[in-house]
Structure 1
Amino acid sequence: MSKADLTKQPDQVAAMFDDVSTHYDRTNAVLSVGNAALWRIATTRAIDPAPGERILDVAAGTGTSSAALTRTGARVVAADFSAGMIEVGRARNADNPFIEFAHADATALPFDDDLFDAVTISFGLRNVVDPRAALAEFYRVTKPGGRLVICEFSHPPLPLLRRAYFAYLRYGMPVLARLASSNAAAYDYLMESIRDWPNQTELSAWVRAAGYERVAYRNLTAGIVALHRGTKPLSAPVRTNDHGSTNEGE
């Protein structure tokens, strides 16, 4: 069984998700105590997909979130770094003509500039080796005036709840993972990655630094998850980011 560590090496992360791909959605439902579906609904509403729009769903996994986005007639590219996830997703969504699956690295997306009306990622930015490079790529492929929506685990602002939540991650989740997952060890990484992930304010600063404006976040489930949003300016100067590629900025 494969388990990534906090260096988040792409081959380790991909192998870990390949291992859990078959039972991934079921395990998420169990470990989130049923909240995963509610978080997906909130994310879909925030994206507000319209008929004919083209949306990029990064770290789309098996395409569960992508399928929800197509119900209004939007066309979705479901991108993921795990070949196993893509294989399962293609099989499950074979009858949905509005989803296209693509093998892609979030830090080097194989798409043209200014292509998507919306870019979204749910519970995947935390697993990217360089999240700020990924945000720069999201900005590059977003159309001017287009939107970014990130749904990610975060830090409950209330100290008592935060302590209880991290106690669950440390002691409760491993027990449930052994019962529900094909690779329980992978969920040790999940606990570690959530604990070390920046809080809501810091992630908002990263989104703003990537070039998005009107940046805001909303806590879900008392801050266990946060929904971050931003909009790409209609016109902005071209600049070079720290990773050597060009993108538009403030």
Structure 2
Amino acid sequence: MSRAGLDKNPREVAEMFDGVAKGYDLTNSVMTLGFDRRWREWTRKVLDAKAGEKILDLAAGTAVSTVEFGSAGAWCVAADFSLGMLRSGARRPVPKIAADALHLPFASGVFDAATVSFGLRNFQGTVDALREMARVVRPGGRLVICELSKPSWKPLRQLYNNVALRALPVIARPVASNSDAYSYLAESIRDWHDQRTLAELIAEAGWEDVAWMNLTGGMAALHRATKPA
């Protein structure tokens, strides 16, 4: 599978990510000019994982973020439905599990927080995935989503959509193991919700106190919420 379609068939998406697992982290840094590291740092700060907490990092890929979330002593598990991505992160010392975001293999209320970095838009059923995350998080627990989004300033939004996203497959070609998959990436970003709409979907899924913060002019955004106590 060279790339998935916007219907986001789970098997196709998993196969596509298996195909880009080699060199995935380097490709992301090249494509974002290093901003991905800054966005992950903001995610870590907003998540604010404490020692002894249990954190679910969903769509964790190679577990780069999972390791960072656990730096303060939290117990963090990396979950992803791409075995290729998990294998690529095998050297990272965190527990890893293959998991379907819509049918998580965890008991209800076992995590203090759930987080997804740049993976929510790949799920087939955004609200269903958000509800499933709410199921496995304890009452009063937290949700933090970091996702590519819509620049808030119109000139930047036009430049982003008409130049940067069109250039993604070309930029990825020298370093990506499957540059065709980055055509899907660009299309999935264009097709994704804006910040307010995603906040409404999070609330629809049963979370409360939903808020968001733009990163880098809205090219990415952080959404946070709380499970009702």
TM-score by length of 2: 0.98
Superposed counterparts of 1:6-21, under 5 Å: 6-21=6-21
Q: For 1:95-150, what per-residue CA distance to the aligned partner results, in whole angstroms no more than 9, with x for missing partners? A: x2xx2101001011111101100100001010001111100001111111100000
Alignment of 1:52-71 (within 5 A): 52-71=52-71
**1:170 CA drift (Å):** 3.8
Q: Map 1:59-138; keep pairs closer than 5 Å.
A: 59-90=59-90, 92-93=91-92, 96=93, 99-138=94-133
| Residue 220 (str. 1) matches residue 215 (str. 2) | yes
Return the alpha-carbon distance in structure 2 between the equivalents of residues 131 and 86 of structure 1. Answer: 22
The aligned amino acid for 1:72 is A
* Corresponding residue to 1:205 among 200, 205, 208: 200
| Aligned residue-pair number | 229
8 A contact 2:166–2:186 mirrored in 1: no
Higher relative contact order (CA 8 A, sep 6+): 2
CA distance in 1, matches of 2:15, 2:218: 30
Deviant stretches of 4+, over 6 Å:
none
Write out per-residue CA displacement over residues 52-86 of structure 1, whole angstroms, 9 at most, x where no aligned residue.
10000000000000000111111111000101011
Matching residue of 2:160: 165
The higher radius of gyration belongs to: 1
CA-based RMSD of the aligned residues comes to 0.9
Name the amino acid aligned to 1:186: A
2: CA distance, partners of 1:167 / 1:17: 25
Structure 1 residues without counterparts, runs of 5 or longer = 235-250
Aligned twin of 2:134: 139
Q: Distance in 1 between matches of 2:49 and 2:127?
A: 25
Equivalent-residue separation in structure 1 for 2:70 and 2:196 (angstroms): 31
Distance 2:166 2:201 in 1: 31
Distance 1:182 1:89 in 2: 16
**CA shift digits 1:185-239 (9 cap, x unpaired):** 00000000000001000000011111111100000000000100000111xxxxx
How much does 1:169 deviate?
Answer: 3.5
Q: Contact 2:117–2:145 at 8 Å: present in 1 too?
A: yes
What secondary structure, in the 3-state scheme, does the structure 2 residue paired with 1:179 have? coil
Corresponding residue to 2:179 among 172, 177, 184: 184
Which secondary structure state, in structure 1, belongs to the residue aligned with residue 89 of structure 2? helix
- Overall identity of the aligned pairs, in %: 49
Alpha-carbon distance in 2 for matches of 1:143, 1:218: 24
